[in-house]
Every structure is written in C-alpha cells, then in structure tokens.
Amino acid sequence: MSLLALIGLAVLAGLLGAGVAGVTLTVFLHRGITHGSHRMKPSVYAAGRWFTYLTIYMRHWEWRRVHRKHHLYTDTWIDEIRHDPHSPIVISEREGINGYRRVSWHMAAIFHAEAKLPDIRDSTYDIPQLDRPLDALDRRIFDHPVRGAVVAGLAYAALFAGVAPLVLGVARTPSWELACAVAGIAALGVHIWVLLRFGGVINSDCHRGKVWVDGAGYAINVKLLSFLIFGEGEHQTHHLYPQFARISTRWDLGWRVIAVLRWLGLTEVVVDRETVLAARRQLSQSRAGQTP
C-alpha cells in the first residue's frame, strides 16, 4: 500500500514540476523573451532563466530563435534552412509520414535537429532592441541544459528521500530511503514527459486547420485546450497577434501570472488586447461601409 502511495506521490510531484515548467515556458520563454509582449524587470528575467534551466532543460536563446522561425515560416518550406521547424503539415508532405504524430511525440528530437542549423546558431532571428545580450551566466551555466536536468533529478531525489518517508509514515530504513530517492527520479521522468506533451499538443493539435490563413498558416483556436496548456490554446489568435500578452479569453493561467507580476510592478504589458481588437473591428466595419 505504501509503495502505491509512493508511486502516486511521484506522479503528483512530476505533475507539479511540469506545471511550474509550463508556466515558465508560456510566461517567460514564449510571451516574454520571444515575443516581448510583456517587458520583465531584471529580477523576473533572472528568475525566468533559472526556472528554464531547472525545469525546461533548454537554452533559452535557442528556444526563442526556433520559435521566432516558426512564426516567420509558419507551415511553409522553402529550403533546408528557410522552413517552419515543426510544421506537422510540412513534415507530412515532405517525409510521407504522419506529421501530427511526429510533432506530438518527438518535439525534443525535432528541436535538437533544428538547433544545429546555422540560422539558429547565429543571430539571424535575434532582435537587438528586444533581446538582452547573453552574459557570463548564459555561457557558464545556461549553455549546459543537461546539467540542469541532472541538478533537478538530484533535487527531486533528495526531496523524496527527505520528505516522502514522513508523508507515507514509513520507517527510514535504507531500502525505503532508496525507494524514495528512486521515486524522486521517476517524478522527474513524469515532469519531462508531461512537458514534452505540452509542446507536442500546441504544435500539432493547434495546427490542424483545413484553411490557410495569412499570418497564421494552418493554426487554429482550440479553446478547450487552453485549460491544459495554460492559455496557449487560442493558437491562431496568437499567430495573428503575437504581441498580445493575453492569448486566451478563458483559462489563461499564463495571463493571470503576468497580471500578478504587472500588479507587483515586475513587468509591463506592451499592448492591450481589447483596444487592438476593437480598433481592428472598427476598421473592418468602416471598410465594409465604404464598399458599394
């Protein structure tokens, strides 16, 4: 019974860790440093880099460049360099395989292959007015994402070895301590698996459109998914308006976190979603009124 409870505890801890990773991904990596939809104070930028290192295990500048490339070439292929890095449609057409399945389950492999290309290694997609230059911490620490995963695994194992016997009410025998430490490593496995699913769902299920939309490719809004992926479900809206800090109107946990940071004076939201959308509606109405 205690062993089952330990497994349950490992799954719960892994889900919580993946939740922290998901919030870091959407608030810091995606809406923050990549699209600049909110401008973070140095303290939030510093925390975001550490959270990325300890929960996402990717170089933050590589993630930013690969994602900007996705926006630039959404669902298109020009050549080996100029293409959408993870378009399920392009992968299906070019490789003759199920691109949706490939993107859903193999985002890590796709990302690592893309990160080796020269346009991701150099500054092709950097925006000097927006991007903070890489510093000594980036070169010495954040350039080694595998070490971040090892540190996280050790932290999970130490936490479980220290706390799990108390929670489960079992004696601290060597075999229980070992079982708890192993459960901690398993929690990291759950964390990474859920994180990869998070990325896979956005990039496959949110690109299942049947109609091409200029500026958004085959991206669609899957509002129900926003509950699971912290507001990222309105993916077509996001492609059309990447400058919006608030992506979804429902279930947008990422936006809630940004709103709290703004309230604390730790970040500034660049544009107001409702103002921009109202102006756009007004413009299309006046254009429709002019049409004979």
When the beta carbons of 166 and 211 are compared against Zn ion, the nearer one is: 211
CA angle 181, 184, 187 (to 5 degrees): 160
State in angstroms the smallest separation of the CB of 213 from Zn ion. 11
* Site residue total, Zn ion (CB under 5 A): 1
- Given the rule CB under 5 A, which of 53-61, 106-114, 158-166, 211-219 is the region that contacts Zn ion? 211-219
- Given the rule CB under 5 A, which of 93-101, 190-198, 214-222, 274-282 is the region that contacts Zn ion? 214-222
DSSP 260-282: HHHHTTSEEE-B-HHHHHHHHHH
When the beta carbons of 90 and 261 are compared against Zn ion, the nearer one is: 90
State in angstroms the smallest separation of the CB of 152 from Zn ion. 25
State in angstroms the smallest separation of the CB of 67 from Zn ion. 6
When the beta carbons of 33 and 219 are compared against Zn ion, the nearer one is: 219
When the beta carbons of 17 and 88 are compared against Zn ion, the nearer one is: 88
Reported residue count of the chain is: 292
Q: Contact, 5 vs 219, CB < 8 A? A: no
- Given the rule CB under 5 A, which of 20-28, 36-44, 171-179, 212-220 is the region that contacts Zn ion? 212-220
- Given the rule CB under 5 A, which of 92-100, 219-227, 267-275, 282-290 is the region that contacts Zn ion? 219-227
State in angstroms the smallest separation of the CB of 37 from Zn ion. 9
189-192: long-range contacts, CB 8 A cutoff, minimum separation 24: 189/14, 190/10, 190/11, 190/13, 190/14, 190/15, 190/17, 190/18, 191/13, 191/14, 191/15, 191/17, 191/18, 191/21, 191/55, 191/152, 191/156, 192/18, 192/57, 192/149
φ and ψ of 18, to 5 deg: -65, -35
Residues that bind Zn ion (CB under 5 A): 219
